[in-house]
Chains A and B, each alone.
Chain A
């Protein structure tokens, strides 16, 4: 479903700040695969997701989504293949617009927008039903401005928006990092439910090793812009934090797994 081939990206080339954030990453995701991505600060996790979503363009290499070469396709055109949830709860929704307006915007992702009404009554009903399944009490508040919601509610809404039209690929970029532990757990479980229900191919970046091990059916660990560890299947199921750290040290040839990672 997703093919990243030898992806390289260099920021600020030719200046003292030149950094190679991705150093030739190749990654193939089969349909329905749920991959968690982990790595320390500056390992390239978010950069990888931003390259797939089109926020950044690769310096060299290729990106294919469902067989389509999107390497040079602008972000807004790629959006039709993608569902995205960001780290910042403010980022995924339009705060000054109503809940139903946000959902209606998401419902038109990948379609041509014209002079028809921005939202119809049937859609309102459908949104109400979908929100009711989330059990957050939002189904009765369709005409509430999104900025009045809590961070957790906003992330749940963004998750619904990302999956309202079934995406070819779901990108979750540390989407629970800004939430309190209890809410984070709830949003993660909700994510897993939807991913399993719709068999979504998913890339989930997290900085939490336990979450990376617990969720998904494949785990990759990035280090200095390269893939250091890639486990799936039975091996992934039997992973523990300790065995993951060991694998990482082996692969990267360094013992300095940051304490942050082990948290």
Chain B
């Protein structure tokens, strides 16, 4: 059981990077970006193909990030310069990435068994696999945390936030909103691809299917994090996203242990997210009914 919890924490930490990416598009820019489903696989594909080709594992992750950023840029340009609605732009990139990722890997999956990974340094110290992944993933999450916390406090970071919050106001303050949207999508997908690369290295393979449904997992982690751990400040949000990702993985581990068939996992996640997203509306409706009833009794 302990080992399974450690496994869930390790997975949750790696997926935190993905959740950060989703947060940038979904919360900061206010765009549902499906590019991530392709860019997480792209990150995995680039890293795996790179390692097989003999490139140092850490360096492959850098290429993963660059790949993800490019994918984000394509979506951004489709949306801003070519005026295609954001959701559709991201779907187009996501579909296109399927083929691109197959080209990168040369086949539907690449095994990394007996290949070097970024976790080797700790594994050589005879640390259990899950602990090694936790340590390394924690380093990446800490780095991502610091970068995001700094970046969204800078002039450009503030301009991106303003663009997502009120585009007209942003333009009136001289902000090139198109460029800010592209930049946000570039950064977000960079983080997502980094997550993909790390995940591939930890599970020792990259698979063309691995991105399917990842946006929903990202959203589930984000919402669980915000609801359970708060979103008062940006600092608070970043911590919550990490804890939310871990909580999501622990929940999944537990329901599987309780006997839910693995095939139902995506249905379960989708229903959870749908409920969480609908919660404000349901609450408002219930409240409205209560007030209406109250009004009648008062009269």
Chain A residues packing against B (C-beta within 8 Å): 53, 55, 75-77, 79-80, 82, 84, 86, 90-97, 101, 104-106, 108-111, 113-119, 161
Contact = CB atoms under 8 A, between A and B. Distances in A.
B175 interface: yes
Given A96-B161, A115-B154, 11 more contacts: A75-B171, A76-B174, A76-B175, A77-B174, A79-B172, A93-B166, A94-B162, A108-B173, A113-B175, A114-B155, A161-B173
Contacts of A92: 169, 172
Given A104-B158, A114-B156, A109 B170 contact: no
Please name the 10 residue pairs, one residue from A and one from B, whose CB atoms are nearest each other, closest first.
Answer: A118-B158, A79-B174, A113-B155, A94-B165, A109-B174, A76-B171, A94-B166, A115-B154, A94-B162, A96-B165
B157 A118 contact: yes
7 contacts: A76-B171, A82-B172, A93-B166, A94-B162, A97-B162, A116-B155, A118-B153
Contacts, number: 83
B44 interface: no
A115 B153 CA distance: 9
Contact of A91 (B153, B154, B166): B166
Q: Is the interface of B mostly helix, strand, loop or mixed?
A: helix
B177 interface: yes
A95 B157 contact: no
B154 A114 contact: yes
Nearest to B154: A115
A105 to B, nearest CB: 5
A94 B172 contact: no
B154 A118 contact: yes
Contacts of A116: 154-155
B154 A79 contact: no
B159 interface: yes
A94 B169 contact: yes
Nearest to B163: A94
A80 B174 contact: yes
Given A91-B166, A93-B166, A118-B153, A105 B158 contact: yes
Contacts of B151: 115
B155 A79 contact: no
Interface in B137-173: 151, 153-159, 161-162, 165-166, 168-173
A4 B264 CA distance: 65
Given A113-B155, A113-B159, A115-B155, A95 B165 contact: yes
Contact of B172 (A53, A101, A108, A115): A53
Contacts of B291: none
B265 to A, nearest CB: 34
B171 A79 contact: yes
A108 B154 contact: no
B176 interface: yes
B156 A97 contact: no
A112 to B, nearest CB: 9
B169 A93 contact: yes
Contacts of A90: 166
A95 B166 contact: yes
B154 A84 contact: no
Contacts of B153: 117-118
A90 B175 CA distance: 18
A82 B159 CA distance: 18
